[in-house]
Chains A and B, each alone.
Chain A
Amino acid sequence: MNDRLVIVDGVRTPFCKMGSDLAPLGADELGRIAVNALLTRTGIDPAIVDEVIFGCVGQPPDAANIARVIALRAGIPKSVPAITVHRNCASGCEAITQAQEKILAGRGSVFIVGGTESMSNYPLLFQQATAEKFSRLSRAKTFGQKLKAFAAFRPKDFQPRIGLQLGLTDPICGLNMGETAEVLAREFGITRQEQDEFALRSHQRAIAAREKLAEEICPIFPNLNFATRNPQSTIVADNGPRENQTLEALAKLKPVFDRKTGSVTAGNSSQITDGAVALLVMSEKRAAELNFKPLGVLTGYAYAGCDPSRMGLGPLFAIAKTNFQIADADLIEINEAFAAQTLAVMRGAQSEKFAREFLRRENPLGEISIEKLNVNGGAIALGHPVGATGARLALTSLKELQRRNAKRALVTLCVGGGQGAALWLERI
């Protein structure tokens, strides 16, 4: 039992919609703020950290191996190594489970893990052909050569490729993530109404949980990039949840991915968001030596692959690989990539047909009760900073277990590219 990973404490920045409050801050800055606050509130000596592991999906071009940038800027000693991990939407989970694997391998006992994403700062890219023209221009020596190279540019060369859009499109099946959700909506017969109702509940729950969520949030204080806009203001809360959200308003939105016959809208999809999460994790033994009372322990986890065009079903494959049953969970967090996708997971979990056909087992996985599911809202309201979400779900569910005096939580995410992640967390 000594080698089990415990989560000692955790903290996150507010989650803010792309292009809003956190837009001036890069992903490294967000990560730094989270780690800075984590060190402050735990009071640990940063020198005892064995490694920093951070998830990030769209690493900023000016912060390669962003985990290292975050570690140094947060005041972790230079001698402590850092690694950035990428498992798409489960990158934040990957950071946690890599720490567990390192503990088991005897490669350290204290880790700072987490995830960060600034979707506001995803770059715009030049097209390959344009880039070639630029490179020709820079190699041109004589005036004549330069003129010639310059003349080769056309207006369409300056039409950027949007980094975010590229990242959200599966390179294998060619579908956008939203289109994969449309596939599930069709195959599982999930109506627009059901999706919108699910989305509304996410907002209502997140609004009701504001004070609870505040416990896991560190304020963002004025700094060099920030104060010019907002001299003395502090950002203390998520700005995704909408207090006055109504079903009618949701119903008015046009489908984004299949404009004629689709049902997936901006309103029943996760929000595109900036934010970062940092967790202090240790081996159970080390935490005891240091006299910490951890939030909880990681008791099982699995990653599984599935069809990229049905990536939303990933959680079912991952849960099936773990050593617990859905019924064992007191709380369940399924990342709300799309309402349609989460509803599909709920149906798949109860379907015998699905169990036999895809999971090669007789019995279905079990019922996912809406009473246990995403009780403080999910990514439709709070947003989904892709690299950070996995760690956020772990933190949010552990805090909620504590509040409810409950035992076990299941955290699961679908992963772009056709994967699922599932983590089992328990209070000690």
Chain B
Amino acid sequence: MTTIQRTIRDNGICVLTFDRPNSSANIFDRATLDELREQLDFIENNSQIKGVIFVSAKKSIFIAGLDLKSIGENSSANEVREIIELGQNLFNRIAALKIPTVAAIHGVAVGGGYEISLACDWRIASPDRATKIGLPETKIGLLPAWGGSTRLPRLIGLPKALDIILGGKTVASKLALKLGMIDDIVPAENLVAFAAKKIQQGKPQRKNHWLTNNALVVSVISSRLRPQLFKKTRGHYPAVTKALEVVTKGISKSVFDSLVLERDAIVELVQQDACRNLLRIFFLQERAKKLSVAKIETKPVTRAAVIGAGVMGAGIAQWLSAKNLPIILRDINAEQVAKGMSSIAKIYRDGVKRHTFSKNEARDGLDRIYPAPNEIPLRNVDLVIEAAVENLELKKKIFQRLDAMAGDETILATNTSALPISELAATTRKPERVLGIHFFNPVHRMQLVEIVAAKQTAPEILQRALKFTQQIGKLPVVVKDSPGFLVNRILMPYLIEAGNLFEAGATIENLDEVMLNFGMPMGPMRLIDEVGVDVSLHVAQTLAAHFGDRMKIPAVLGKMMEAKMLGVKNGHGFYLHEKSEEARPNPQVATLVQNQTAAGFSREELQERMVFLMVDEAARCLEEQIVAEPADVDFAMIMGTGFAPFRGGPLRYADSLGAEKIVGAMENLVDRGAEYFAPCNLLKQMASNGKKFYGN
């Protein structure tokens, strides 16, 4: 079974069709590269061939690039160097062919898939939505090393190339054409015929980008960009700085020398933890996309209802409607529904501004929402997601009602972030069809969804919910029904400790700055403001009720509630959020707490106290089997909270420090009177036997 099929047409044009057997994608693994070498051997030695067209037989993928497994955890530096060299050499041979070459792109052409196109004389692409072109390598801690960092700046000029490479961007054909990344757009069915025309035109004369690709501009750009990048990455993402270095240095060298730079850089990067952790996340994402809990064929969800048009309900309804599902949006009156509709319309309008949606797509999305201010039949929906106010008694009533209204096949799900789902299930006739489908806020940005299995949930319901999550393009993690489930439970001790430290005299800026430096996308105080002081307090209370000894809610939150400081939603929280300017710390908050002792915490101390509590809680979740394995915890924390991705998650981070160090520091705090730092048994065991969460 081969991937590359060769056909030679009467006019001497050779078409190489990529069609990886038993797969919906084409990738460059070792075997495919070997096939490509054989094809090039043939083409180079056959003077009858007048031109070459590269094309894919797949529905939605041209070539998705290098098989990342070949540079993953188990490969040595030498193996990485070898496969990079192999690809570089083959692409160089394509670039050196005397006859014209065309990449005829339909579907995803990213990484190596675009780099082989860059080695061709012409690039043409279909206008379809599936067609996405770009170099996303820096997003997974790598850089384009099969000639992308070398050829793209020569093709489209340095500034535009840096934007694509450093941003790890993939773009639609229309934008790719505008940027010069491709030469033409033609319908998918006509790609090969048009490519043949391009071959008739011969080799192209390309623009020389002397105006931007010269030493002066290079030095200005790189001296400008470097501090900007540092500010953004805080030095945690070496791939981006490395890519900048390679592209800017390489531009003044020969192609050959520039390729050497690419190669050395990637070999260096793959040996670093940051890259390894980012690659792991990539694989975990791929795993989540295919995750299954039972070998049961389930029917796709074709119609759903969301109960509650608040922030979460509206967010869920918007996301589902954008994924082509008709959605009933139900709330108790027209005013509540209107609020939801208004925020849905806003998401769509913003999406149009950001080119996420065309105007028609936004209109169609909104058309798919069926607002319901009155009680309505739910016989014909496959799934109901309840997203009402977090109040157990209210939710029980809603579930009883849903149980009566919905068809027998309908899945009843709750989006509660902390309440016990088994209790909700128990109020219904068929508790086996009840489970939690927990989205994160803002729904259209957060990829993670916790699928919460209640005690009673049937495997086929769990499986169907899982498939539904994948159907709507979210990444599921399956968790047990326990207070706070996984993500909120691990996050809460961290937020509580931030509040404790604030009461003990740490400043808002310091607390946030420390965690930004750690690699969080947002500091804890800012996060509380974003989530809402009221919501945070509510989740904290639910958790405190179960884990009281560990999670004692700092008084400041309650006082802020009394003082109506609710966070972003009303402009006052730990920060003042005014529309016109950047948020600045709210001096009022400090006056709410009496005993600010201006204790001098070192930054290291602040960070350790907040992070170690997260690590401990994560370990407890494993102990209690809330999830099956450490990777589930790390994946969920990264996708659900943005936990410093380059660190690989709280447990991976714990491994990098060693349990002994963490337990030592925590016990030290216990000795100083902070009893809630008592580490869990699992951590203590690991400290004594030197074991790690991930093997040894």
**Contact flag A224-B345 (CB < 8 Å), given A41-B376, A234-B335:** yes
A2 at the interface (CB under 8 A from B): no
Residue of A nearest to B328 (CB): A40
B551 at the interface (CB under 8 A from A): no
Instruction: From B77-85, B362-370, B665-673, give the one contacting chain A.
Output: B362-370
**B349-363 to A contact mask, C-beta < 8 Å, 1/0:** 100000000010011
Using Cβ atoms and an 8 Å threshold, which residues of chain B touch A42? 377
A189 at the interface (CB under 8 A from B): no
Residue of A nearest to B334 (CB): A219
Contact with B342, one of A39, A41, A232, A236 (Cβ below 8 angstroms): A232
**B312-350 to A contact mask, C-beta < 8 Å, 1/0:** 000000000000001010000011011101100110110
CB distance from B354 to the nearest CB of A (A): 15
Q: A32-B367, A73-B367, A224-B363 given. 9 additional CB < 8 A pairs?
A: A37-B371, A40-B328, A75-B370, A221-B342, A223-B366, A224-B348, A227-B342, A232-B338, A233-B338
Contact with B341, one of A32, A75, A221 (Cβ below 8 angstroms): A221
A223 to B338, CA, bound (A): 9
A226 to B349, CA, bound (A): 11
7 residue pairs, one from A and one from B, having the closest CB atoms: A43-B377, A221-B341, A222-B342, A234-B338, A40-B370, A219-B334, A232-B342
A40 to B381, CA, bound (A): 11
Q: Are A227 and B345 in contact (CB under 8 A)?
A: yes
Within 8 A of B (CB), among A146-186: none
CB distance from B307 to the nearest CB of A (A): 13
**Contact flag A40-B367 (CB < 8 Å), given A224-B349, A236-B334:** no
Q: Are A222 and B338 in contact (CB under 8 A)?
A: yes
B24 at the interface (CB under 8 A from A): no
Could you jot down 26 A-B contacts, CB within 8 Å?
A: A37-B370, A40-B328, A40-B370, A40-B371, A40-B376, A42-B377, A43-B377, A73-B363, A75-B367, A75-B370, A219-B334, A219-B338, A219-B371, A219-B373, A221-B334, A221-B341, A221-B342, A223-B341, A223-B366, A224-B349, A224-B363, A227-B342, A227-B346, A227-B349, A233-B338, A234-B334
A187 at the interface (CB under 8 A from B): no
Q: Are A232 and B372 in contact (CB under 8 A)?
A: no
Within 8 A of B (CB), among A196-232: 219, 221-224, 226-227, 231-232
B626 at the interface (CB under 8 A from A): no
Using Cβ atoms and an 8 Å threshold, which residues of chain A touch B334? 219, 221, 234, 236
The main secondary structure of chain A at its interface with chain B is loop
A179 to B337, CA, bound (A): 45
Question: Which residues of B are interface residues toward A (Cβ below 8 A)?
Answer: 326, 328, 334-335, 337-339, 341-342, 345-346, 348-349, 359, 362-364, 366-368, 370-374, 376-380
A74 to B372, CA, bound (A): 14
A36 to B435, CA, bound (A): 29
Q: Are B367 and A43 in contact (CB under 8 A)?
A: no
Question: Which residues of A are interface residues toward B (Cβ below 8 A)?
Answer: 32, 36-37, 39-45, 73-75, 219, 221-224, 226-227, 231-234, 236
Q: Are A75 and B363 in contact (CB under 8 A)?
A: no
A264 to B193, CA, bound (A): 70
CB distance from A270 to the nearest CB of B (A): 28
Q: Are B367 and A231 in contact (CB under 8 A)?
A: no
**Contact flag A36-B345 (CB < 8 Å), given A41-B376, A43-B379:** no
A41 to B374, CA, bound (A): 8
Q: Are A224 and B326 in contact (CB under 8 A)?
A: no
CB distance from B660 to the nearest CB of A (A): 56
Scoring A37, A41, A45, A222 by chain B CB atoms within 10 A of each residue's CB, the highest score goes to A222
Scoring A42, A73, A227, A236 by chain B CB atoms within 10 A of each residue's CB, the highest score goes to A227
A236 to B363, CA, bound (A): 22
**Contact flag A39-B370 (CB < 8 Å), given A222-B345, A224-B363:** yes
CB distance from B576 to the nearest CB of A (A): 23
Residue of A nearest to B375 (CB): A41
Using Cβ atoms and an 8 Å threshold, which residues of chain B touch A226? 345
Using Cβ atoms and an 8 Å threshold, which residues of chain B touch A234? 334-335, 337-338
A36 to B368, CA, bound (A): 9
A387 to B337, CA, bound (A): 29
Q: Are B368 and A221 in contact (CB under 8 A)?
A: no
A236 to B364, CA, bound (A): 23
Q: Are B339 and A224 in contact (CB under 8 A)?
A: no
CB distance from B21 to the nearest CB of A (A): 35
Scoring B334, B338, B373, B376 by chain A CB atoms within 10 A of each residue's CB, the highest score goes to B338
A221 to B363, CA, bound (A): 14
Using Cβ atoms and an 8 Å threshold, which residues of chain A touch B342? 221-222, 227, 231-232
Residue of A nearest to B379 (CB): A43
Residue of A nearest to B339 (CB): A232
Residue of B nearest to A36 (CB): B370
Contact with B367, one of A36, A41, A233 (Cβ below 8 angstroms): A36
Residue of B nearest to A47 (CB): B380
CB distance from B406 to the nearest CB of A (A): 11
Using Cβ atoms and an 8 Å threshold, which residues of chain B touch A73? 363-364, 367
Q: Are B371 and A221 in contact (CB under 8 A)?
A: yes
Residue of A nearest to B365 (CB): A224
Q: Are A40 and B372 in contact (CB under 8 A)?
A: yes
Using Cβ atoms and an 8 Å threshold, which residues of chain B touch A41? 372, 374, 376
Q: Are B377 and A223 in contact (CB under 8 A)?
A: no
Using Cβ atoms and an 8 Å threshold, which residues of chain A touch B372? 40-41
CB distance from B471 to the nearest CB of A (A): 18
Using Cβ atoms and an 8 Å threshold, which residues of chain B touch A222? 338, 341-342, 345
CB distance from B515 to the nearest CB of A (A): 35
Residue of A nearest to B362 (CB): A224
CB distance from A27 to the nearest CB of B (A): 15
**Contact flag A224-B366 (CB < 8 Å), given A43-B377, A45-B380, A232-B339:** yes
Using Cβ atoms and an 8 Å threshold, which residues of chain A touch B370? 36-37, 39-40, 75
A234 to B339, CA, bound (A): 9
A181 to B62, CA, bound (A): 70
Residue of A nearest to B367 (CB): A73
Using Cβ atoms and an 8 Å threshold, which residues of chain A touch B335? 234
A40 to B335, CA, bound (A): 17
